[in-house]
A and B are shown apart, each in its own frame.
Chain A
């Protein structure tokens, strides 16, 4: 097999894996938009905040220690314990549920009936507030995230492909874990929305707020529920991305990777987020491989948006989005 074709296959596989990570971020946006029509600008910061909280709990960091020390002249930084990863993840998920409750109680509840743009603005405010709050709570230093995820080249794939083609493909173990986790997450979400009472209520609200209210579904409960799920998805995304680079404030920028995925896959479709992520992941990696070197490289960021725009021209609602029909 020609060498270039093998390279292209390797790039495609890695593009698919990168796409899964993009989809994980996009999923949080979709969940909230589907249930409430809000484009949650704070989704990237939620991933950052969730990861900061996870590491903070895991390492026994005293929250707000800088503030406490500055006010009381103390020198406290850490509790004398280290929390096991699984418990830290559960506690961090609990914090995200509490966050969802507070967002609903102090922001969304007061904005019921307001135009979408107002809700969008509120999430912008929320994003910047959370970034500052996370900084005060856990500090700005880079933190190492270690929840036992494997990293590095998968030797089995390398060996198998080498035996088959004479060239070993590189696939990162972390990407394989991310793909499995994403698959489990999507399956769980589908089962939840199809087969549970709350899931059906969630779908009813997504279809028609007023109709859902008229049959006794609590909009407030659904909002807390959906923001909690989005918070959990943000935690998963934060873990996967944080394991690569450490938990630091640039983690909030991963939201930029989700936007072309949403444009392509649609804002209201969970399968759209997954398929969109995969198309963007493969598209940008293949373009960088084939065309990048001819035009100076570093094409991934802008090419993802070009790809999304092309899809948008032909399907404005995205690949899997619902067509909006307004009748006069």
Chain B
């Protein structure tokens, strides 16, 4: 009798303690600790808050509630892979690891497990080729688009002529940081500028030699491919040597609020490439305030709303939610699997009207994803920092990147991957 009571109590306790499992699971491999937390926190907040908004405002996606359980990677590749292995059995629909290192490790795993991998603006650039990378998506833009967009901006601001100019690239001395070099070499050959590549070792706390070199070489423009503390130190060092900030352009991973704030007023004028809108002047953020922050359900304390990385997290979550909706439509069921999610991502169509309906008019480009093109349109804009106002402003329209230079590189790199891994091209 005692045992029966105990067993009944245990079962009841277990039922009460076990959370109700959400049907649509979007794991968030986040990093809220460690050296890269400053960028990881706002992104993770934005990603989580958008799914909370969908639950609170719309009752989930297609009537099914969503969840974005977090697994802390600390931006560590091994931990990221552990997170993937630990969570993939919990109904994960798609992974967005926010790390190029983790992405490279996960590409073969997700393909084998039939789970899509979403890496907007990071990861393996040539994964834009859907014929080779069936489960990897990096729309709406990738690193090589970013390099081209930065050069396009230089062309726009220099009468379309960069011949004889010197462009320095200050980059994180890692696979990530080296990504734009080939594209920039191609663009340098095309437009006649000289490229000066200057590496900075991890973590990038000491960059005196690099910035003294820039002071000596006097490049006309400096591009930056940094992450973490490297960004803050570089912007401070640029200010120290009085390098004109309007000639200094970072990739979108060097364009967070936390990258410019430590340098204070000296950072005013610094630019960065972006593939989405800036600030909080969009209806979706009012909804997040009302349904998420106001209801006490925000992932953070709500003060990251409108910051560059927060917006990127929201944008990534929105695109995944739209892909999930598309998957529900295609397969005629609200309870989709990861395989169906992949189909939804491959058939994703974002229109300007839909962006307006979502409360994000003009926040990102209209585009479609296809079997061949997992990379989207590759468009982007330039944002500029105003320290006094504490805001980024878009100073250009969203424009295209130079696919004439980028596409052959994507084809070449993806062909090499296909050959190494015996992958037959799809989409025939």
* Shortest distance from the beta carbon of A234 to any chain B beta carbon, whole Å: 16
CB pair A254–B301 under 8 Å, yes or no, is no
* Shortest distance from the beta carbon of B160 to any chain A beta carbon, whole Å: 31
> Which residues, 122 to 178 on A, are CB-close (under 8 Å) to B?
131-132, 135, 140-142, 144-146, 151-153, 170, 172
- Which of A179-187, A265-273, A294-302 lies on the face that meets chain B? A294-302
Point out the residue from A18, A132, A152, A246 that lies within 8 Å of B240, measured CB to CB: A152
Which residues of chain B come closer than 8 Å to A10, judged between CB atoms?
Answer: 212
CB pair B266–A253 under 8 Å, yes or no, is no
Which residues of chain B come closer than 8 Å to A284, judged between CB atoms?
Answer: 209
CB pair A170–B35 under 8 Å, yes or no, is no
0 or 1 for each of B43-59: is its CB under 8 Å from A? (1 = yes): 00000000000000000
Report the bound CA distance from A132 to B331 in whole Å.
Answer: 45
Q: How many A-B residue pairs have CB under 8 A?
A: 120
Interface flag for B38 (CB, 8 Å): yes
* Shortest distance from the beta carbon of B211 to any chain A beta carbon, whole Å: 8
Which residues of chain B come closer than 8 Å to A257, judged between CB atoms?
Answer: 205-206
CB pair A142–B212 under 8 Å, yes or no, is no
Interface flag for A244 (CB, 8 Å): yes
Interface flag for B365 (CB, 8 Å): no
Point out the residue from B236, B242, B258, B301 that lies within 8 Å of A142, measured CB to CB: B258
Query: Which chain A residue shows the least CB distance to B257?
Result: A142
* Shortest distance from the beta carbon of A95 to any chain B beta carbon, whole Å: 21
Report the bound CA distance from A81 to B301 in whole Å.
Answer: 20
Which residues of chain A come closer than 8 Å to B199, judged between CB atoms?
Answer: 296-298
Which residues of chain B come closer than 8 Å to A101, judged between CB atoms?
Answer: none
- Which of B114-122, B227-235, B339-347 lies on the face that meets chain A? B227-235
Report the bound CA distance from A263 to B261 in whole Å.
Answer: 36
Contact A135 B233, CB 8 Å, known A141-B41, A170-B212, A298-B200: no
Interface flag for B32 (CB, 8 Å): yes
Which residues of chain A come closer than 8 Å to B258, judged between CB atoms?
Answer: 141-142, 246
> Which residues, 214 to 266 on A, are CB-close (under 8 Å) to B?
241, 244-246, 248-254, 257
Report the bound CA distance from A257 to B34 in whole Å.
Answer: 18
- Which of A194-202, A285-293, A316-324 lies on the face that meets chain B? A285-293
> Which residues, 2 to 18 on A, are CB-close (under 8 Å) to B?
7, 10-11, 14-15, 17-18
Interface flag for A77 (CB, 8 Å): yes
Interface flag for A326 (CB, 8 Å): no
Query: Which chain B residue shows the least CB distance to A173?
Result: B240
Contact A297 B301, CB 8 Å, known A14-B208, A250-B205: no
CB pair A244–B201 under 8 Å, yes or no, is no
* Shortest distance from the beta carbon of B297 to any chain A beta carbon, whole Å: 12
Query: Which chain B residue shows the least CB distance to A135?
Result: B33
CB pair B261–A253 under 8 Å, yes or no, is no
Point out the residue from A132, A248, A300 that lies within 8 Å of B209, measured CB to CB: A300
Interface flag for A73 (CB, 8 Å): yes
Contact A141 B209, CB 8 Å, known A170-B241, A300-B201: no
CB pair B205–A18 under 8 Å, yes or no, is no
Interface flag for B283 (CB, 8 Å): no
CB pair A153–B208 under 8 Å, yes or no, is no
Which residues of chain B come closer than 8 Å to A172, judged between CB atoms?
Answer: 240
CB pair A288–B209 under 8 Å, yes or no, is yes
CB pair A285–B208 under 8 Å, yes or no, is yes
* Shortest distance from the beta carbon of B82 to any chain A beta carbon, whole Å: 17
CB pair A301–B201 under 8 Å, yes or no, is yes
Which residues of chain B come closer than 8 Å to A151, judged between CB atoms?
Answer: 236, 239-240, 266
Point out the residue from A73, A248, A292, A300 that lies within 8 Å of B37, measured CB to CB: A248
* Shortest distance from the beta carbon of B52 to any chain A beta carbon, whole Å: 16
Interface flag for B262 (CB, 8 Å): yes
* Shortest distance from the beta carbon of B159 to any chain A beta carbon, whole Å: 31
Which residues of chain A come closer than 8 Å to B5, judged between CB atoms?
Answer: none
Report the bound CA distance from A30 to B242 in whole Å.
Answer: 37
* Shortest distance from the beta carbon of B308 to any chain A beta carbon, whole Å: 13
Query: Which chain B residue shows the least CB distance to A284?
Result: B209
CB pair B32–A254 under 8 Å, yes or no, is no
Point out the residue from A131, A246, A251, A298 that lies within 8 Å of B173, measured CB to CB: A298
Which residues of chain B come closer than 8 Å to A131, judged between CB atoms?
Answer: 33
Known: A245-B236, A250-B35, A300-B201. 4 other contacts (CB 8 A): A17-B208, A172-B240, A246-B232, A293-B213
Interface CB pairs A-B, < 8 A, 24: A17-B208, A18-B208, A69-B301, A131-B33, A140-B37, A140-B38, A140-B41, A141-B37, A142-B232, A142-B258, A142-B262, A145-B262, A152-B240, A153-B240, A172-B240, A249-B33, A288-B209, A289-B213, A292-B209, A296-B199, A297-B198, A297-B199, A298-B199, A300-B209
B interface residue numbers (CB < 8 A to A): 32-38, 41, 173, 197-203, 205-206, 208-210, 212-213, 215-216, 228-229, 232-233, 236, 239-242, 258, 261-262, 264, 266, 296, 301
Counting from the closest, the 5 A-B pairs by CB-CB distance are: A246-B262, A250-B35, A298-B199, A142-B38, A140-B37
